[in-house]
Structures are given as structure tokens and as C-alpha cells.
Amino acid sequence: MSIVGHQDPAQTPEDRLARLGIVVPPPPPPIANFLTHVREGSLLYLSGQGPREANGFLHTGKVGANVTVAEAYDHARLTGINLLSVMQEVLGDLGRVRRIVKLLGMVNATPDFADHPSVINGCSDLFIRVFGASGSHARSAIGVGSLPGNITVEIEAVLAVHD
């Protein structure tokens, strides 16, 4: 069953977030010497975000060892909310997102873990619920040996935006 088919085109992304009970927090600050975003023409490139709660708590661990797929899915969803917070700050209105073009999802996983797509679906499913058909995107989901601060997931995004 497609998530896209359940969208009311008259609703804004903000309406959909409210219906989902999601309050978008202020964006987390960068953890090193980089920008949270770069805009080039109609494309907005978002730097990788992780599963940081609004209170600053970071979800850490290794998927396939001490973190389950269900927990990591929730962490990817939270990471998607953090990406939305950067979009909101940069664009002022999530309705300016024309399309989510591409996601790169990285999962801090054990060498034998093989279900990376199910983890990153946490972010993908959120974006489709928030943006409807415009939230469908190209994507890569990969496993890595470690991530900064031992976070469970990191996701970056490329968006097409309206001026």
C-alpha cells in the first residue's frame, strides 16, 4: 500500500506535520567545520543530520548488536525531523520544497547486518507523509563501521525548491 495515495493535496506540509503530532525543533548546530546547508540554484543540499532529540540527547549504538531495526527506524525518523528543521529554518516555509530529490542514509551497523533499507525507511516514510508525492526520492542506504559520536544513523538530503 502506497503512503503517497493517502495525501490531501490541499494540506500544507505544516498541516501534515501537525496531523502527525510532530513539532519541528530548532535545527541542531553543526558538530564540526561545515555548513548545515548549501543552496545552488533551485537545489538545496543538506548536510548529514543524526538522531538528536530536541533536548540534545543523541541515540548511539550499533544496529545489529545493541540497537534493533525498529529502534534504528525510529532514529532515522527523528533524523528526518532534524532535516526538516534545517529546511524550515532555511526556507521559512516547507511548502517551498518542490521535491525531495535524493537521500543518502548511513547506518552504523555490524559487518553482518543487511537490512539498511528498512532502517532508512524511517526517514523516507516521514518525508512521503509530509510532502506527499513530492517526498518520494532517489536514495542510497549503506552500512558503515562507525559514525560521529557513535550515532546510529546519519542522513543527508538534496531538495529541489521553489523560489
DSSP characters for 99-126? EEEEEEEEEEB-TT---HHHHHHHHHHH
How much is the average pLDDT of 33-56? 96
pTM value is: 0.93
Chain segment 2-35, per-residue pLDDT in tens: 444 455 666 999 999 999 999 999 998 888 999 9
How much is the average pLDDT of 127-135? 97
Chain segment 76-98, per-residue pLDDT in tens: 999 999 999 999 999 999 999 99
Q: Which three cell numbers stand for residue 132?
A: 506527499
State residue 3's pLDDT score.
47
* H or E segment and range at residue 15: helix 13-20
Q: To the nearest 10°, the Cα dihedral for 140, 78, 46, 33?
A: -110
Residue 72 banded pLDDT, cuts 50, 70, 90: very high
State residue 94's pLDDT score.
97
- CATH fold of 10-161 reads 60s Ribosomal Protein L30; Chain: A; (3.30.1330)
149: left (phi over 0), alpha (psi -120 to 50) or beta: left
| Cα–Cα distance, 99 to 53 (Å, whole number) | 26
